[in-house]
A and B are shown apart, each in its own frame.
Chain A
Amino acid sequence: GAGVSQSPSNKVTEKGKDVELRCDPISGHTALYWYRQSLGQGLEFLIYFQGNSAPDKSGLPSDRFSAERTGGSVSTLTIQRTQQEDSAVYLCASRPTGSSNQPQHFGDGTRLSIL
């Protein structure tokens, strides 16, 4: 597609439920990133994919968080047993390669609210 696409745009769920967030990167972009944006914490890195592998998972806050990428394209971020502190906007970004000479292009995010 023309830009990074994320779905759903909004998600409201009850504490303890599992959620899946989807990211469809720009076609041909091999590098994919997940970030979280919350009040008081700003924008934080979660995980980076190069192709289907994740060389850097250092930002995942707990083992309730996991992510996968298949076919070098779509990625899914899964949060198990959601907690209220998981409420945030989850942003996905992609860029053509892992090169730092290219900017990361962001989607519009998924706004997650845990009741």
Chain B
Amino acid sequence: SQELEQSPQSLIVQEGKNLTINCTSSKTLYGLYWYKQKYGEGLIFLMMLQKGGEEKSHEKITAKLDEKKQQSSLHITASQPSHAGIYLCGAEQGAQKLVFGQGTRLTINP
């Protein structure tokens, strides 16, 4: 079965700094999703990537899928307290279900 490994597991950055979270798959990715979760809340959809080399941006967040479709990165520019939370990458496995990485806990220090 497909496994996703996220790094780092936790990250503490100063407000205003840039950061990158990585997601590496044991198999080719045919649909890679990034979600954000705050404590006690559900997952908020951020971005979906499907094509090798694809890159998408929304506000200060950019996600990329490498050409070989086995690794994705999430980059946040000029981080803000509102970016704090747990970031999860998820991949389509089989026809329907998503398999998720263990998550990266992001803390933003003022």
Q: Which chain A residues have a beta carbon within 8 Å of chain B's beta carbons?
A: 4, 6, 31, 33, 35, 42-43, 45, 48, 50, 55-56, 59, 91, 93, 98, 100-101, 103-109, 111
A106 touches B35 (CB 8 A): yes
A63 and B84 alpha carbons, distance in the complex (Å): 38
B98 touches A106 (CB 8 A): no
Say whether B110 faces chain A, with CB atoms less than 8 Å apart.
no
Say whether B87 faces chain A, with CB atoms less than 8 Å apart.
no
Stretch at the interface among B19-27, B42-50, B66-74: B42-50
Least Cβ–Cβ distance between B39 and chain A, in angstroms = 10
B96 touches A103 (CB 8 A): no
Q: Report chain B residues within 8 Å CB of A50.
A: 96
A108 touches B40 (CB 8 A): yes
B42 touches A91 (CB 8 A): yes
Say whether B92 faces chain A, with CB atoms less than 8 Å apart.
yes
Given A50-B96, A106-B44, 9 other A-B residues pairs in contact with their CB atoms under 8 A: A31-B96, A43-B90, A45-B99, A48-B96, A55-B95, A56-B94, A56-B95, A104-B98, A106-B42
B30, B50, B93, B100 — most chain A CB neighbours (10 Å): B100
A50, A106, A107, A111 — most chain B CB neighbours (10 Å): A106
A1 and B44 alpha carbons, distance in the complex (Å): 17
B48 touches A33 (CB 8 A): no
> Which of A42, A45, A103, A108 is in CB contact (< 8 Å) with B42?
A108
Residue of B nearest to A3 (CB): B42
A107 touches B42 (CB 8 A): yes
A111 and B40 alpha carbons, distance in the complex (Å): 8
Residue of A nearest to B34 (CB): A103
A100 and B45 alpha carbons, distance in the complex (Å): 14
A11 and B109 alpha carbons, distance in the complex (Å): 33
B45 touches A59 (CB 8 A): no
